[in-house]
Amino acid sequence: MVTPPKQEKARRGEPWALGSVLGYASANVFDRFAVIHVDPLIGPLLRGLPSLILGVILVLRHRTLGQLKPGSADYAGRRAILTFVLAGILSTCGLFVYYFAMRVGGVIITVPVLETYVIWGTLIAWAFLGEKVRSMALAGVGLIALGLAVLSLGQMGGQPISRFWYWAIPLALFTALTYGVSGVLWRDGQLRGAHQSTAIFLQFTTSMIVAAGGLTLLGRWQALARAPVHDLGALLASGVLSGILGIYCMFTALRLMAVARVYAFSSLTPLAATLFAHFFLDEYLNAVMLVGVLLVSVGVALTQIFRPREERQAS
């Protein structure tokens, strides 16, 4: 039997979608491995470097540098540029906090909480972009909330990373909020005509400036010099896995598969990160916690799959 072209194309996209999941989940594990020993404040600078390099390459490849020049016919406009700059500032502030969450709570607590960014993105897009919120997406929000409650309950009866593990929840929530706002800003900028390469370049240029400024303001550059080479390598590997491999696989999958299917795959990221952390970092995981993570994954799938069409097109 001959496989229909559309079905064959979708099958070619499935490995790329899984590659995106593995890239992002592995990045979380490398982040946790590094911050066990090094100052969390150096994380954003090293993790953002591969993404900045990717942004430069993409801008040169797609020849979109003109979108940044006010006198150019391709100029994206001040409003679009400012949205990506603001997204870079907010997401980097969130990334600083994310590394502290990783240190006190580990992957299994931090990553599922971080996935609540889809909730904040949905609510903010509804309030400021006028995007519709579908009933199934609201059901997904409810499942995420329930999953986080179950996860916390399981951790209370388990073996936490540290006695301050519960601080990872508000810290990761703050990061999730900055990611949610940044996602809305991205959509707003792209709806105004900015190319993805321009968005990546602007956001991560801003991110590197904020990360370097944070180290300067807090006087932590010496922490970068004192950090073991293997931990610096882990942070750079995280940047490659999430900022290059994850993004490339995601964009390729979106080109080969239906958007809803790609987002269904991406919802597996918290589950994959949890299993990786348990088996490779020996983080504690019991049955109740696993159920909580599964509920979060299903909730993320519903929230992502049933996003408005205009929002998906701008992602």
Please state the domain extents for the chain. 5-314
Classify the phi-psi angles of 219: left when phi > 0, otherwise alpha if psi is within -120 to 50, otherwise beta. left
User: What does the pLDDT read at residue 148?
Assistant: 93
User: Among 12-21, 154-163, 229-238, 300-309, where is mean pLDDT lowest?
Assistant: 300-309
**pLDDT band at residue 8 under the 50/70/90 scheme:** low
CA 210 to chain centre: 18
Computed over every residue of the chain, the mean pLDDT equals: 88
Q: Note whether 104 and 98 are within 8 A (CB).
A: no
The mean pLDDT of 165-173, rounded to a whole number, is 95
- Which carries the bigger pLDDT value, residue 258 or residue 148? 148
**pLDDT band at residue 311 under the 50/70/90 scheme:** very low
d(Cα 74, Cα 223) in Å, to the nearest integer? 42
Give me the amino acid identity at 265.
F
Above pLDDT 70, what percent of the chain?
A: 91
- Which carries the bigger pLDDT value, residue 222 or residue 315? 222
Does residue 1 carry a pLDDT above 50? no
Question: Could you tell me the two tokens for 252?
Answer: 């390729």
Does residue 137 carry a pLDDT above 80? no
User: What does the pLDDT read at residue 133?
Assistant: 67
d(Cα 51, Cα 57) in Å, to the nearest integer? 10
- Which carries the bigger pLDDT value, residue 6 or residue 25? 25
**pLDDT band at residue 272 under the 50/70/90 scheme:** very high
Phi, psi (5° rounding) for residue 234?
-65, -40
